[in-house]
Amino acid sequence: MFTNKETSEEIASILGEGAEFTGELILIQGLRVDGVVRGKIRSESALIVGPKGRVEAEVNIRRISINGEFRGIIEASDRVEIHKEGKVYGDIYTPCLIIEAGAHFEGRCEMNGHKPEKRETEPKLKAVESPSDTGRQSVQAAQSMSQSANADSPGWSPPQEERD
C-alpha cells in the first residue's frame, strides 16, 4: 500500500469482498476496494484497490494504489502505484508512476498528469483497390492522401515526381 502513515489514515470507506457498485462515486476521503466498482470515481484523496478488488472505471483521484485489477482511465494528481500483484489495463495520466517488479501494465502513460483534450482525427492513409498490372494508381492515391494530410504541417513540401 502507500508507504506513509498519513495516506492510510485517509481511507474512510471500504467496499468489501463480494460487494459490487455501479455508478459514480464522489468521495471526500479515501476508498479501499476489495469488491467490484464500475463507473466513475472522483476524490481528492486516495483509492486503494485490494488484492481481490476489481475496478472498471474512469478515475480522477489524488493517489491510487493497485494490488488487484484496474481497467479504464486513471488521472492521478499525485501518484499511481502498481504493486507486484496489480494489473492495469488502460491509460494513466500522472506526474509520478511506480510499478513494482511483477506488476502488469498494458496501456499508455502520460507523465504530465493531465488527460489531453479529445480531438477528432481521420485516417491519413486509406486502402484502395489497384489494377493488377502495375499498382501505380494505388500508389498515387496513397501519395495524394498523404500530401493532403501533411499539407497543413509547417515546413512540409510535396515530394518531387520520379522521372521516367
Q: Are residues 127 and 49 part of one domain?
A: no
Q: Are residues 97 and 54 part of one domain?
A: yes
For residues 100-115, average pLDDT: 87
For residues 9-15, average pLDDT: 82
**How many independent structural domains does the chain possess?**
2
Please check whether residue 47 is in contact with residue 33, taking contact to mean a CB–CB distance below 8 angstroms: yes
Q: Are residues 104 and 126 part of one domain?
A: no
> What pLDDT, on a 0 to 100 scale, did the predictor assign at position 120?
52
Q: Are residues 89 and 56 part of one domain?
A: yes
Give Cα 19 distance to the centre of its chain: 26
| Burial group, residue 3, by CB count within 10 angstroms (0-12, 13-18, 19+) | exposed
HEC readout, 102-118: CCEEEEEEECCCCCCCC
pLDDT at 48 over 90: yes
- Note down the domain range covering 140: 120-151
pLDDT per residue over 57-84, tens digit each? Answer: 999 999 999 999 999 999 999 999 999 9
Is residue 105 in a domain?
yes
pLDDT at 156 over 60: no
